[in-house]
């Protein structure tokens, strides 16, 4: 069910893949180190490990479903039949940590009350900021074959990237931010928070798939997917 694959044809069919990998690797190392220094080991695990597991499952399902695939990377991981590059999974942890903190910074300036409304606002802003960056990144990634969307996919596209992809980005970052903030602000012990952040992935995952599936259905019904 779970396997690791090593690809020996690094960069095949791609352009500037090394630069993209270097960007993610540098950012990931910096943010993990910064989080470790600022928040300690346990909080860093709460911030990074759940999204690594969630994105591994979601990306693997995405590849297995035949919507897109990755070529030219070195290390691939697979849980449900679809090979996902390790660096992509790390990139998702960068996304969540970065956009969650940008959302916190932004919302703390305009809404100071620490309540569920603030959690909702922070998560929404995190998701929207994520989509903004993805609107730059995804077309370039598709053009340079860092990941390749199947051309048979129908619906509205933004420079060959399906609209549902951007919805997926928002939904994933939004729900993962909500889960992370709820656990971070709970009064459980740090060890309990780590366990909760991993076990609650099943609930977050169901929410992500239900909402994403419903939006997909609405798109089909309206005729834009």
Query: For another protein, which residue of 44, 55, 93, 101 counts as binding (CB under 8 A)?
Result: 101
Span of 2-10, 44-52, 116-124, 193-201 interacting with another protein by CB under 8 A: 193-201
Question: What does the alpha-carbon distance between residue 93 and residue 59 come to, in Å, rounded to a whole number?
Answer: 13
Helix (H, G, I), strand (E, B) or coil at 107: helix
Query: For another protein, which residue of 23, 25, 74, 207 counts as binding (CB under 8 A)?
Result: 23
Asked if 41 is part of the footprint of another protein (rule: CB under 8 A), the reply reads: no
Asked if 52 is part of the footprint of another protein (rule: CB under 8 A), the reply reads: no
Phi, psi of 9 (to 5 degrees): -100, 70
CA angle, residues 83, 202, 137, in degrees to nearest 5: 45
Residue listed under structure tokens 């928040």: 39
Q: Could you tell me which of 6, 38, 20 has the C-alpha nearest to residue 145?
A: 20
Q: Could you tell me which of 109, 110, 225 has the C-alpha nearest to residue 165?
A: 225
Asked if 222 is part of the footprint of another protein (rule: CB under 8 A), the reply reads: no
Residues for the chain: how many in total? 225
Span of 3-11, 70-78, 116-124, 197-205 interacting with another protein by CB under 8 A: 197-205
Residues of the shown chain interacting with another protein in the complex, contacts defined by CB under 8 A = 15-16, 19-20, 23, 27, 30-31, 34, 38, 58, 61-62, 64-67, 80, 98, 101-102, 104-106, 108-110, 128-129, 132-133, 135-137, 139-140, 143-144, 150, 152-153, 159, 164, 168, 185-189, 192, 195-196, 199-203, 205-206, 209-210, 212-213, 216
């Amino acid at each position: 069910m779970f396997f690791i694959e090593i690809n020996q044809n690094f960069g095949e069919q791609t352009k500037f893949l090394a630069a993209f990998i270097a960007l993610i690797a540098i950012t990931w190392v910096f943010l993990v180190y910064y989080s470790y220094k600022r928040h300690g080991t346990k909080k860093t695990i709460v911030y990074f490990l759940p999204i690594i597991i969630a994105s591994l499952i979601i990306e693997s399902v995405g590849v297995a479903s035949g919507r897109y695939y990755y070529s030219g990377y070195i290390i691939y991981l697979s849980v449900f039949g679809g090979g996902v590059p390790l660096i992509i999974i790390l990139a998702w942890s960068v996304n969540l940590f970065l956009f969650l903190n940008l959302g916190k910074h932004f919302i703390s300036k305009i809404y100071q009350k620490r309540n569920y409304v603030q959690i909702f606002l922070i998560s929404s802003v995190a998701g929207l900021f994520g989509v903004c960056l993805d609107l730059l990144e995804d077309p370039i990634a598709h053009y340079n074959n860092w990941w390749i969307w199947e051309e048979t996919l129908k619906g509205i596209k933004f420079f060959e990237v399906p609209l549902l992809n951007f919805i997926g980005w928002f939904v994933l970052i939004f729900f993962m931010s909500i889960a992370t903030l709820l656990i971070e602000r709970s009064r459980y012990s740090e060890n309990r928070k780590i366990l909760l952040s991993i076990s609650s992935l099943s609930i977050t995952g169901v929410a992500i798939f239900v909402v994403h599936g419903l939006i997909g259905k609405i798109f089909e019904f309206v005729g834009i997917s």
